[in-house]
Each structure stands twice: as structure tokens, then as C-alpha cells.
Amino acid sequence: MDPIFLLSGLLLLTFGLLGVEVAEPGLLEEHLLRVGLALLALLGGSLLSVRFLLRHALWLLLGNLFLLALVLLVGSGPYGVRRWFDLGPLAFQPSELAKVSLVLYLASFVGRRGEDYPILGPALLVGGTVGLVLVEPDFATAVFLFLLGASLFVLAGVPWRRLLAIGLAGLLVLAPFSGAYLNRFRYVSERFSGFLGYLRGEARPEEAAYQVLQAQKAILLGGPLGQGPGGSLPHLPEAHNDMVFASVVFATGWLGGLMVLLLYGLLFLRGLNLALRLQGAEGLVALGLTLYLTFQAALNIGVTLGFLPVTGIPLPLVSYGGSSLLVSGLALGLLLSLAQEARRKEAKRWSS
């Protein structure tokens, strides 16, 4: 197995244990179970054939779309939203799996048809995936899926004129419904207004910006070397999940936070190197999975540091969320599988 991928993933999981321990000690045992499942997903992903997944990528995405539609009917979540299936001690969120299935499908399509082939069909599938997540409602994940899909189209070499035409058409279709959406799901506009309040130096405990101020307070209290897992963390909503980076820094210090950033940087550079070593659809899968893990991490950490509005997106391989841990473990496992495939191809070229 690729040592950089594997070691980076294991260390991030370890930092997650420290972050959850200092944030919510009572959740540590349950988080250990989730980490164990993430490791099993990592192992399973490393044993899977990415070529096999690419051949069946359309059906995987259609299955994911079915789950996204089903969760709107029988799913559950806080405050009346429907985002996940309750599976006893665990809850499964189909929108997390969509991040991987979307990457596999788009890579498969471009690999089979080429970058200059009409992309209306794939664009509709991306739009359908984003739309179903949007009405759960999960605005931040929907935007992330849209950006991930658009990035893969751009990096695959799809002509800009085609992307702009489809993007403009989609905007014209959605624009008439934006007011009704924001009126029904007020939390979206409230988060933006809370972020503006934070920029003005105003934040009440009931506002999302309060989380950011408390996260920054925890980071400052962490100091260079941290307070350790037994430290008394200031009141911080979602300290074990969305704001877990602040908990990690509080426990391990600024040095620990720098190590987390370094680990994601290593994942990005190693994933980019792997994408360049592979060709066609496999290279695009490597690039897409790398973007999923590292771009989402950048968004989460940017929120914690106060650079972005609060999104609710978890930190891959670190946050408490079970679905996020499971899917990010799977994504890392698939990168390990692709790294093994790259080594086999290189060995074959050297021997021939």
C-alpha cells in the first residue's frame, strides 16, 4: 500500500479521536466504533477494482439517486429535515456517498466518450443529484457537489463554451425558485447574515457566527503545544463534528493544527502525482477523490478560522459524523487501489 496515503489517513483518524475526546468525552467509545468502520471501508476500497467500478459507474450513481429520493420520503434528521436513514446505532447519509459515485460516473463518462462529447446527460445527472440534496435541505453539501462536478468537467478538458451554456441554462431554471427556497429554508440566509455579523464583530449565542468566535477562542487557548485531551474546552457547539478542527488544535496545540494541514497537503500532492501517473478515467478518479478529501477539508477549516460562512460540512477522516468517516475512508481506500494499479503498470512498462 502507498505509505503516504495510508500514514496520512491513519494520522488524521488519530487526530479525530483526540478532537472528539476533548469535545465530547462521552462520545469517544462510539467514535472508536466509527473509526473501526472507516478502517474497514478503507481496506475494502483498497481491494476493489476501480476499473470494475468505472464499468458500473452509471448504475452506482442511479442507485445513489434512488437513495437520495428515498431519504426524502422515509429519512430522518433534526428539525424536520430528511437527510439520513436510521440504522440502529448508526445513521447513513446518501449525500456523502454521492461525492464518490459522482466522481466515478463523470470519470467513466469522459473516459468512454472523450471531453468534446455532448455532456447534457451527465449535466442532468449532476443537476439531479444536487437538486435532491438541495431539498433535504442540505445547501452546503449541494453546493459542494456542484463545485466538485464542475471542477471535474473543467479538469477533464470539456470546452468552456459548453460548460457556460449549460450553467446559464441551469441558472435560468433555478432562479425563479430561489426566493421560495430561501423563504422556506431560512437557515441558509441566516448563516450568511450571521457571517456578515461576525465580520462586523457582532455575534449572539444563538447565531452561527458564535460558533466561529468560540472556535477561534479554543484555538488561541490551545497555544503552541495544546492543553491535552483532558483540557477544559470552552463552550463550542458542534465541537466534535463541524468544528472539530478547533478541538484538535485545543488538544494538540498550534503544532498539531499545522500537522493536520500538512497531512491534507500531503494527500493533495500525492493524489495529484497519482493522477498524473495514470491515464484516462483512472487518472480522473484519482483527481476527483483527491479534490473531494482536500477541498472539503479546506472548506471546513476555512469556516473554523472565520474565512467562510458556517456550512455544516464535516472534516474528512476527522469529524465525528459516521457517514463522512465511512465514505472518506472508502475514498482513501480507492486511492490506495489506484496507487497499486499505477505501480503495476509502471513495473510492466519497465519490464517490457
Q: What is the 3-state secondary structure (H, E, C) of 168-188?
A: HHHHHHHHHHHHHHHHHCHHH
Q: What is the pLDDT of residue 197?
A: 65
For each of the chain's 352 residues, which pLDDT tens digit applies?
Answer: 799 999 999 999 999 999 999 999 899 999 999 999 999 999 999 999 999 999 999 999 999 999 999 999 988 877 667 888 887 767 889 999 999 999 999 999 988 776 566 778 888 899 999 999 988 888 889 989 999 998 988 888 887 777 777 777 777 767 676 666 666 666 666 666 666 666 666 655 556 677 888 899 999 999 999 998 888 898 888 899 999 999 999 999 999 999 999 999 999 999 999 999 998 899 999 999 999 999 999 999 999 998 888 888 999 999 998 899 999 999 999 999 999 999 998 887 787 6
d(CA 308, CA 301): 9
Return the H-helix or E-strand segment holding 90: strand 90-92
DSSP characters over 11-50 = HHHHHHHHHHHHH-GGGHHHHHHHHHHHHHHHHHHHHS-H
d(CA 343, CA 340): 5
Q: What is the pLDDT of residue 280?
A: 87
Q: What is the pLDDT of residue 75?
A: 85
Q: What is the pLDDT of residue 311?
A: 81
Q: What is the reported pTM?
A: 0.92
DSSP bridge partners of 87 = 90
Give the structural domain span for 279: 3-351
Q: What is the 3-state secondary structure (H, E, C) of 124-155?
A: HHHHHHHHHHHCCCCHHHHHHHHHHHHHHHHH
Place of cell 428515498: 70
Work out how many domains the chain is built from and give that number.
1
Q: What is the pLDDT of residue 224?
A: 94
Of the candidates 160, 50, 71, 79, the residue with the CA atom closest to the CA atom of residue 115: 160
Q: What is the pLDDT of residue 204?
A: 58
Q: What is the pLDDT of residue 325?
A: 95
